[in-house]
Structure formats: C-alpha cells, structure tokens
Homo-oligomer: A and B are copies of this chain.
Amino acid sequence: MAGNAAPAAVRAARSKAKPAPRNAFYAQSGGVTAVINASACGLIEEARSYGGRIGKVFAGRDGIIGALTEDLIDTSKEPAAAIARLRTTPGGAFGSCRYKLKPFEQAPAEYLRLIEVFKAHDIGYFFYNGGNDSMDTAHKFSRVSAELGYPVACIGIPKTVDNDLVGTDNCPGFGSVAKYVALSMREAGMDVASMARTSTKVFVLEVMGRHAGWITAACGLAATQEGEAPHVLLFPEVQFDESAFLAKVRTTVERHGYCTIAVSEGLRNRDGKFLSETGLTDAFGHAQLGGVAPLVAQLVKERLGYKYHWAVADYLQRAARHVASKVDVRQSYQLGQAAVRAAIEGKSGVMMALVRTSDKPYRWHIETVALADVANLEKKMPRSFISEDGFHITADCRQYLAPLIGGEDYPPYRNGLPDYVRLKNAPVAKKLAESFTIR
C-alpha cells in the first residue's frame, strides 16, 4: 500500500498521532575492542525492533569524523543477518578515530557543523561508544546542542580495554582482554616451565595499560596457587624498584626454576618517566620506540644472567574476539540495547553503566549515570588490589576480576579461521553543499 494513496485527512491524522521518528547517529570512538561491535549490534537490533520510535541508525564512518564530514553510513541497508554477525566480530565495523572536540568556546565551528549535519539528516539521537574522551564530547555536545536550539539526546555507551572509566563497575572490552592475557600467561608459563632446566628461565609479557594496571592485574588471574605463572606483575601504579624486582626474580627462579613476568606498557621509573622511553637507541642515536618487555628482560639478563624470552601482545590482545569473555559480550550487547531504550525514554546527557550487585554468584544490571560525573576521569587500581610487595594482586582484586572473564563465546569459523563479517557500509547521500575539513 502506497502512503500517498491515503486521503489527505487520514494522512494528516496519522502525522498528528505519530510524528515522523527522528534518526539516530552512532559512532565508535578511540581504540577499538573485541566487543565494541557487540554494542553496535545490540543498539541497531534494538532500534529496529522499536520501528516507529527511532528512524534509521546512521553510523559515522571513522567515528565522529563521519559526522563532521557528512560521511554517514546507512545501517538500514544491512540485512539482519549481517547485523547479527557484528556480535562476533572484533574491531570497529564502521571505523573509529582518535578525535576530541575542544570546548565550544575554543572551537565553535565543529559544534555548529555537527548540528548542521544532524539537522540535515533529521538526527535526534547521538550514541557515542567510547572511553573518557568520548564521554566528554557527548557531555559537551549534549549541553551545546540544547543551548543552540537543536537539542539532541546524547547517550554514552562505555567501551575501553583499559577499564578506567568511572561510574561503571567495569568497562566493556576489558573482560575479553583480561581473559586473553590471563590465558596467554598461563599457556606461556606452561611452556617456560617445561623447558626451564636447560633453556629460558625468565619470560616477560608486555600488556596494554598506559596509566592503569587493570590488564596487568588480569594476568594475575592465571596463577591460582603459589608458584604458578605469572610470578611477578609490574603495574603502572607502582613505581619500578629495580633492586626489589631483581631480588623477587632471583628468589622465584631459585624456588620454582623459572619466573614469568607481566609488565604494563606504562611502567615508570623513579623519575616518573616511562621505562619504554628510556635506554635503547638505534645505530643513529634515535630513541627506540616502544617496548618495555625487552628492557625488563635485558635488565634481568645483565644483572642475573638468566636466559630470557619476551612477548609484546599489542593489538593481538584487544582484537582477540576468538576467545572473548561471554560476560563481556553479553554486557556490551545489552549496553547497546539499553542505550536505545534510555533514548526513547527521553534521557540525555547520560552514560549507560554496569552496576554489580553480587560477586558470587555474579549479578549485575544496567543503569544510567550523568556524563558530567564521568567525563575525563580515570579509575586506577586501588592500592587494596595490589599485594603489599607491589608485585601481585590481592584476594579482593581476584574477587572483582574473576566474573569479568567468565564464559566462552566463540565466533563461527570457516576454513579454520574465525568468520568475521564485513559490512557493506553504504553511504547516506549528502545533503549539504559545503564540505568540512578536519583540522
């Protein structure tokens, strides 16, 4: 039935009873994770199921840059089966970016442009899926859009492997990295233990976490009793004490035959400098770029003489959808769903947050928190989660971390490899005459 065929009076009554639903804009922001697409999946599926309340979901190509440049992706062009597969696909399906809006007073052009683009495409909802910076942007835009007379409902959906957002018990993306690094440590530890008598005695794994040691702490879950890998954790929250560290490594090797170490990329020396930025230079005198694991390993070799190996997990850890935490996938998906419901309920200026009500059995639900209380803050490891000597995690920390890696959620495989979806990412036709240049 063609709508145009209805009599004018009926059309008028309809449009009165049911105003045309406004579209939504969804953007991924900052470092991607194994499960950020699960949030996209929950959000798009939920929006589709509320047909009539929310129009189309447009995604930003490469995050907020897509909004600024009017480079929108029409997710309604994707079949339901493709959207469903986002749940098991790592990375950012629409592209992400590192781009932070300045305060309105300093850079009004970007805000004005966003409103222009949102108006042109009848966008009334802005879902921003990211970390600290993104929550700050969502917060600013929520305020400014209202002030400028085009109020947009702004909802933050948390995401960060660093687990450092405040206002939520944990961050989607972290549980899967935690599971990956803990099992990698366990597996590598078994390898080293097998060979230690005549080969490698010290193994160092470098993990992410520039300022907060949550991922390093997660490595500690692999050790369920004294003597199991990892033996030493080096947190960014604990100033590196070289002699205490070397003494710990020596004792561990003497007692157990080998020593495994997880080190945060953000480990700092007594001067507060990143260890990774000290020490090595290439043949031309340039500082070597990145890699604290080789530095720690080399220190052990020089001072204690032990044979070593080291690994740097880098992107492997945050893209490891093949071994994602089931809890993490479920939470990410449900946060996407809940964001849509919150928007429909008329909420704005809020972030969806995870609230834990019980450790054992693990129970949680979703609430909203004000973006104003979340933006730009950083949650580090509390001292009570780090053992007295600074080299491991406490029972309290285990209790907090353990549920987050719970359960497996394997992707489908094809020809021996995970079968991840690639969306068509069809563009929405541009409506504005002017283009916008990203600074």
Contact = CB atoms under 8 A, between A and B. Distances in A.
Interface of A: 28, 31-32, 34, 62, 65, 89-93, 95-99, 179, 182-184, 186-188, 190-195, 197-199, 203, 205, 221-222, 278-283, 286, 288-291, 293-294, 297-298, 301-302, 309-316, 318-323, 325, 402, 405-408, 410, 413, 415-418, 420
B316 A311 contact: yes
Contact of A191 (B192, B319, B406): B319
- Determine how many copies of this chain the complex contains: 2
Contacts of A28: 194
A171 B418 CA distance: 23
A62 B99 CA distance: 53
Contacts of A405: 415-417
17 contacts: A32-B191, A91-B190, A96-B195, A182-B417, A186-B417, A187-B319, A187-B322, A221-B417, A280-B283, A281-B282, A286-B298, A289-B298, A291-B291, A291-B294, A310-B312, A311-B316, A322-B323
A413 B417 contact: no
A420 B191 CA distance: 12
Contacts of A197: 62, 65, 95, 97
Given A62-B197, A289-B298, A289-B301, A418 B187 contact: yes
A407 B410 CA distance: 13
Contact of A222 (B184, B315, B417): B417
Contact of A406 (B89, B188, B321, B416): B416
Given A291-B291, A315-B188, A199 B298 contact: no
Contact of A199 (B98, B193, B203): B98
A62 B187 CA distance: 18
A184 B286 CA distance: 30
A327 to B, nearest CB: 8
Given A199-B97, A282-B279, A311-B314, A190 B289 contact: no
A433 to B, nearest CB: 24
A216 to B, nearest CB: 16
A28 B413 CA distance: 32
A410 B409 CA distance: 12
Nearest to A402: B415
Contacts of A91: 187, 190-191, 193-194
Contacts of A319: 187-188, 190-191
Contacts of A32: 191, 194-195
Nearest to A312: B312
A316 B313 contact: yes
A268 to B, nearest CB: 17
Contacts of A92: 194-195
B312 A97 contact: no
Contacts of A191: 32, 90-91, 315, 318-319
A92 B198 CA distance: 13
B312 A311 contact: yes
